[in-house]
Amino acid sequence: MKKHDIPFTRNTSRRSFLKHGTVAAGAATMGAGVLGKALPALSQEVDDGGGKPNRGDIAILRFLQALETIEADLWRQYAELGGPSVATQTQGLSTNDLKDQNGNRVTTGLAPLYIGGLLILDTDMPQYILDNTDDEFSHETWLKNYLASKGADIVELHKFANLPSSQVTGVPNIGRLTNLTQLTVDTSWWTRYRSDSKNPDLGDSFENAIPSLATGQHTAIPRTNADLIADPNQNSGVGTHTQAIAFTAGFHFGTIEQGGSSLYPSLAQRVSDPEVLRVLLSIGPTETMHFQTWQDKAGNATQITDTDTGFPGSTGATVTFPNLNGGINPNSSSQGSPDPGVADEFQTNLIMPEPTFFLNQRLGPISIIRPTETRDAAKGALQGLIDSGLFLGHKTKSGKSDGFVEFLRDLAEDADEARRQLS
């Protein structure tokens, strides 16, 4: 996890991108024009001439850079609270040396009881959280460097990092882009990847694994020390409230990473330059590696119910983590009798992508990433994040929007206007 220096940063707006966004003809020339004196050295050093992204490619890369910055922001919060600490190092000698995009060390594992809740999902959870975070830092930084090397404007979101940090002791009080305390978590990816006949690209919809997470607002991190409750009567020593927060995080990890798993192949269909295609094809599967890990771990959640009342920041929401292995649909109000068909949709160890229909039912089922429809893929991915409550609180002091979501919508629109062009 060596530091990779960010060569430079620029605040840019969509307008400046639209004005300067075409870099197809001569990246170095364009770079000098757009970025003045700051760029040429980097451009010549990094750009090996292998890629000549056009305007659409740049729009897609900028949108991905923005989303990777958002991923990095939320994963950092998870790592600070639930990453490894000396006390939770479970195996091996690899040291925790997470550094942020500016090369500053990130302290992890600040909420031992939250970690205790995560350990129910897997004893390696803190390490996996740290490494997912490190991966997102690298995605953000590398895409910035790549855009800069092509003479394109990078996206600077940090001016919008005004949301509060968790107040758990030790968490740095820095502004955040994402809000992990009022999430409405869509867990329909669970049944989407277990279905043997349905595909969202064929118009199908899917039931949630954890229906109660899909309504109300749930915190996935301890907001204050009050959310961290010990309970000696539990084997884990962790109180039900804290356990529910950890399980919410466990499912949110899967929700985030399945989104990346679909977004990269969806957008790759509309890039033009082979090197940009290589970039997307090389990052995307790492999101899928994350997703596969998280959906396996989420299935280890035990049956609990918690209502979030009486704590600072409480939303009143109730969450229930059901038994997904009993052949009972957790979306049904009636319990019914166990059904093998229901088991196919919910059983926790069915984590390999079940073959399903793709493109045309006459071709038969196939194990695939789903969805991969490219039309409006960027706007769809962004809308999913907005609907989840991840950006709640982006307001100015006067109560108006701070422009963050609007800016992201502009980036998504630009990305969805990109069309594959063969020269």
Which residue, 63 or 358, has its beta carbon nearer to Fe ion?
A: 63
Environment class of 336 (CB within 10 Å of its CB; exposed 0-12, middle 13-18, buried 19+): exposed
Residue nearest Fe ion, Cβ-based:
139
- Cβ at position 268, least distance to Fe ion in Å: 14
| Residue 402: exposure state from Cβ atoms within 10 A (0-12, 13-18, ≥19) | middle
What lies within 8 Å, CB to CB, of 124 at 6+ separation is 90, 91
Length of the chain: 423
Q: Which is nearer to Fe ion, 260 or 299 (by Cβ)?
A: 260
Residues that bind Fe ion (CB under 5 A): 68, 71, 136, 139, 257, 260, 287
Toward Fe ion, which CB reaches closer, 253 or 404?
A: 253
Closest approach of Fe ion to the CB of residue 143, in Å: 9
What are the tokens at 201?
Answer: 């690209």
Residue 24 or residue 155: which is nearer to Fe ion going by CB? 155
Least distance in angstroms from the C-beta of 342 to Fe ion: 30
Closest approach of Fe ion to the CB of residue 244, in Å? 24
Q: How far is the CB of 138 from Fe ion (least distance, A)?
A: 8
Report in angstroms the alpha-carbon separations of 201 from 205, 294, 367. 10, 23, 14
Nearest to 287 by CA among 64, 106, 109, 98: 64
Nearest distance in Å: CB 83, Fe ion:
15
The residue among 124 and 287 lying less far from Fe ion, judged by its C-beta, is 287
Q: How far is the CB of 161 from Fe ion (least distance, A)?
A: 18
What b/e sequence results for 10-46 when a residue is b if at least 16 CB atoms lie within 10 Å of its CB, and e otherwise? bebebeebeebbbbbeebbebbbebbeebbeebbeee
Of 111, 286, 282, 262, which Cα lies nearest the Cα of 193?
262
Q: Closest CB to Fe ion among 195 and 258? A: 258
**What's the rounded Cα separation, in Å, for the pair 267 and 258?**
15
Q: Using the minimum distance from each CB to Fe ion, give the nearer residue, 27 or 298.
A: 298
The answer to whether 201 and 370 are in contact (CB under 8 A) is yes
Are 89 and 285 in contact, with CB atoms under 8 Å apart? Answer: no
| Token pair listed for 281 | 């094809």
